[in-house]
Amino acid sequence: MTETSVATHGVSLDDAAIAKAKSLMEQEGRDDLRLRIAVQPGGCSGLIYQLYFDERPLMEGDAVREYDGLELVVDKMSKPYLEGATISFVDTIESQGFKIENPNATNTCSCGQSFA
């Protein structure tokens, strides 16, 4: 019997992002979800991030990294765009939500939701 190995990736989650994602999963009463980040065409700068919970099995080429029991998945097409990125969760008087710091982004739009 051969073992299938799953690739890893270089996207990091900070402690606040891990805690928030796990809290959201608990609120939904789900423990079968993975957090998935992907890059898709769109937005004013050309590419947009998608960050969502996914219950589907891993697909061929997916890269996985575990953070305190939370799996973060990056698909093979998005991996080069996201290598070295950090996902954090901010909760301030000015904003609340997940924030992606991506060293590969050369341009971003003013809304902060798309990049090139």
Radius of gyration of the chain, Cα coordinates, nearest whole angstrom: 15
Q: What are the structural domain ranges in the chain?
A: 12-115
Q: Are 7 and 66 in contact (CB under 8 A)?
A: no
pLDDT in tens, 67-101: 999 999 999 999 999 999 999 999 999 989 999 99
Residue 107: DSSP 8-state: -
Give percent of the chain above pLDDT 90. Answer: 72
Please check the confidence at residue 4 and state whether its pLDDT lies above 60. no
pLDDT in tens, 97-112: 999 999 988 776 666 5
pTM listed for this prediction: 0.86
Q: Name the fold adopted by 12-115.
A: Hypothetical Protein Aq_1857; Chain: A; (2.60.300)
Rounded CA-CA distance 93/70 in Å is 27
